[in-house]
Structure 1
């Protein structure tokens, strides 16, 4: 009985194809890192203006000390936002956080488009500070920039703002997360005092 012998295929050396695959993968990663921006957008705060109000609500009561007062600070931030991606950016929301000198954290949303009319009617001197607003749902094309103002309201005095630990503007994007930028000290201020309001007791 003759021996059955099966022919064995020649063994291939897989080292060369594996090395070539790793080389191609390395080149692809290098090109991706080279042409992918390190940041989503470049945000510069160009100007910060402050508008503070102190309103005393007169009470009809004859009792001393029944009047109420309220402090409001409007922070008008002018910023420029440049798209550094190869995709357009869509602004979803604009918010801010104020950390006071005693560690209290206050959060606020930027004044929305439909609220500007009432705000400027109540405080006409605020209108020239606000300029052209940067609104939610603003589209910034790839490689382009958008510039505008964001109006923020905090129920604090201007002194509390000046002594703050930190104030941060948060820009939420629809598909690329959030960008945070520190708001510098205000370089323009106005401090009207409203005492004509009355409160029915």
Structure 2
């Protein structure tokens, strides 16, 4: 299925535009939260393209047979022009048209102890941005998925249903599904059990 206008697969972009996407990626995230840019191409990299080149991207991965899609990265290179909101509408519209039922992602927790004030403000702004677009901050605590580089920031889990006509997913099933399908951790893993206990699940 073709992408909606303005949102295209990175596989279709010439090298110069891929380099522009790389620049957006490297400027949007601190080094400790990034992987080599080439590694992103193993997942589905969708790029917002304007008349003058790439302006943002979303990196997504379908979570097996759940019908859910995990958002790994979301970044806009040109802020203050409504691109973030427009790209989100393109992304959720495309996934819904493809039959996906839920978009899930994690965000850095502004309540992590010891964070400097500027980091707290940035994390809160990011959560508020997603909430304005329909995202929900889930009541999940002690959510600590593993990371390839060993860095484990405190995270929160967010989601957005893409098919409001479908029944709501049980929160425990969502947590277990994300841990298993995104991070390869079974339901009896100590990390998963810790999250479930802390979240009253």
TM-score calculated relative to the size of structure 1: 0.25
TM-score calculated relative to the size of structure 2: 0.25
Greater RCO between the two (CA within 8 Å, min separation 6)?
Answer: 1
Indicate the structure with greater helix content. Answer: 2
Indicate the structure with greater strand content. Answer: 1
